[in-house]
Amino acid sequence: MSTIRLGDEAPNFTADSTEGTINFHEWLGGSWGILFSHPADYTPVCTTELGTVAKYKNAFDNRNVKVVALSVDGVESHKGWIKDINETQETEVNFPIIADEDRKVSELYDMIHPNADSKLTVRSVFVIDPEKKVKLMITYPASTGRNFEELLRVIDSLQLTAYHKVATPANWRNGEDCVVVPAVATEDIPSIFPKGYKEIKPYLRTTPQPNLN
């Protein structure tokens, strides 16, 4: 069983899916990625989650994010489940679902927590950048559905802070002011952030989001 930490390279794997065989790193290419696991097929909360992801496909595409799900059942089971998802959630599943009957990927990503369930995966989420580095990990219990608005918010923050010397404060949303990172000296802020800044404390400086016109 692997232990994955932030900044680690996301483990590569080859697996069957509802869209054919996937080599994970090749499939990601130069995109960001979300890999998220489901306890099993034909489970109620997962049905709502996969339907929600399908409805958010354009939002992920606009952020250059590829989405792939995983469940410990097989491809044929997945395909039958997709019919239920499409029907009940009034959408069309438009991303691959990995078959992980041998638990190979689940073990690789430490998605099975024995004290929660010895066989089924917890609701793990991994956000991976174009360099295949793990940038975010969230683990939900099987009983709690994920908040995909929060995942979009986090991706906006990750993509912003990857290219600009800012961090995002609590409850930040795309378009709001950001925090200047401590490594930037106050006297250097005007040249780096020409939109201006506010010094609340010497260690707490804010500036308008730098990647917006």
Whole-model pTM?
A: 0.89
Domains of the chain: 14-144 (3.40.30.10), 164-207 (3.30.1020.10)
The answer on pLDDT for 52 being more than 90 is yes
Q: What is the pLDDT of residues 169-198, one digit of tens each?
A: 999 999 999 999 999 999 999 999 999 999
Q: Mean pLDDT across the stretch 147-156?
A: 95
CA 165 distance to own-chain centroid: 22
Q: What is the dihedral of CA 9, 14, 18, 20, to 10 degrees?
A: 120
The answer on pLDDT for 136 being more than 90 is yes
Q: Mean pLDDT across the stretch 43-51?
A: 92
Instruction: Give the residue numbers marked as catalytic.
Output: 46
